[in-house]
Chain A
């Protein structure tokens, strides 16, 4: 019941789940036009875990929101699963936000069911899916709690469950663990990798934490300060499953250092 009916089969690795082609974004600020994103092109193959890092205000969240169909780029195209994304499409893309995006008047279970309720799925099916997601994120038995009765880490587990409940092939995460303390953050990173390996989603994950980036990613994309451009793509050759011990290795340290150098260069 739990994970059995999720798509565990990875699609052929050659197939790009996300294709971003020549995306530019210009917005109108107080001092006239501001170039926020400049000529962003990237492909993310199905089942990959890609982390985006960069200085504050470099437009990484904007880019993520465009992939979610929540914001529109000035020019360029974004394809998800081979089709352009123009509006939010929860069947193709699940989004997990920074924090406090759960509805405080709904229980954990009702929060997870929310996307299904929007498209009027039968009550029975909703409950079953939501229960399965709750188990997947390790919160069995907490379904009746309201968000304010859950810890920060548990709330983000619920957010992840909500992002996955429609079984979208792509999961976009905007600094989901930024508000958590260091220990919870590490645990949640580890948990996320477990969930990812069980569900085989394509993940794009935005963060400020370099340790988190190296620990989670197949590949780290480094963006420059405004106008945001992709200045480096750093593959992470660490084997999976990742362990906490890997953080103490030379490879881990060198990768983190390289990302840091790139961010400094681009800032």
Chain B
């Protein structure tokens, strides 16, 4: 009896969750108000597809701009803080403790300043996603192997060349991880902000349908966000993998055996 590969198990778990989602409310084990069946949720999503599509566009627009702010400012400030000892000593402790503050508490201030339209969501989510990007960029630059810089200097690299050819490529892995985390946080930030105070977006749909106890439509909105986040994560990971061939090429050879193993040992039928 060979064990099925982790990938197979993961897919089986997903299928099981979807099946349970349909069966538990159908059999009456869970009231449909708390968990509408998957089929009803999808039907609700389909019947109001126009509304969901335009809400999704608003959310996507806000997420895109927030990510731009988070990544741009995060990388810039992170590079300065990581690269300059003076800024590092002054700012890093402050930023590190700010990271632990529940920034959502500032959201009412953002609405007071910027109104309840998209601007406040973008600003809030931008700030929310800024910290992990900034902190990991700073860490990426701070932890560069001094030996690499010494080698580059020994080969006659000027300071701009050291930045372009050593510091930037060496810090890319940590920066990308920060972008993935920060990106995920901007999605959370936008949706949370939309649920609190707004007139548009997927988060707004969730809270509006919840107040009228329309569970299928609430879950349809939740499902949309779920898919959006999972897609973002998959894309971000794919970008990381492609950019970091030099880190993963060795491992890729190993994992390429996985499909073969999976074929040789078919998973037990569920």
Q: Which residues of A contact B (CB under 8 A)?
A: 68-70, 88-90, 95, 97-98, 100-101, 103-106, 114-115, 117-119, 146-149, 162
Contact = CB atoms under 8 A, between A and B. Distances in A.
Contact of A118 (B150, B165, B172, B249): B165
Contacts of A162: 155
B155 A114 contact: yes
A118 B156 contact: yes
B157 to A, nearest CB: 5
Interface string B135-155: 000000000010110111111
Contact of B169 (A90, A95, A105): A105
A105 B172 CA distance: 10
A103 B166 contact: yes
Contacts of A148: 246-247, 249-250
A95 B147 CA distance: 12
B246 A70 contact: no
Given A97-B150, A97-B151, A104 B156 contact: no
Secondary structure type dominating chain B contacts:
helix
A253 B79 CA distance: 55
Given A88-B154, A90-B156, A106-B246, A101 B147 contact: yes
A115 B147 contact: no
Interface in B153-185: 153-157, 161, 165-166, 169-170, 172
B150 A105 contact: no
A37 to B, nearest CB: 19
Interface of B: 145, 147-148, 150-157, 161, 165-166, 169-170, 172, 245-247, 249-250
A115 B249 contact: no
7 contacts: A90-B154, A97-B150, A105-B169, A106-B246, A115-B156, A118-B161, A148-B250
A162 B152 CA distance: 11
Contacts of A115: 155-156
A104 B165 contact: no
Contacts of B150: 70, 97, 101
A146 B151 contact: no
Contact of B170 (A101, A105, A147): A105
Contacts of B153: 70, 88
A80 to B, nearest CB: 13
A209 to B, nearest CB: 21
A90 B246 contact: no
Which 4 A/B pairs are nearest by Cβ-Cβ distance? Answer: A101-B151, A115-B155, A95-B154, A90-B156
Contacts of A95: 151, 154-155
A88 B170 CA distance: 22
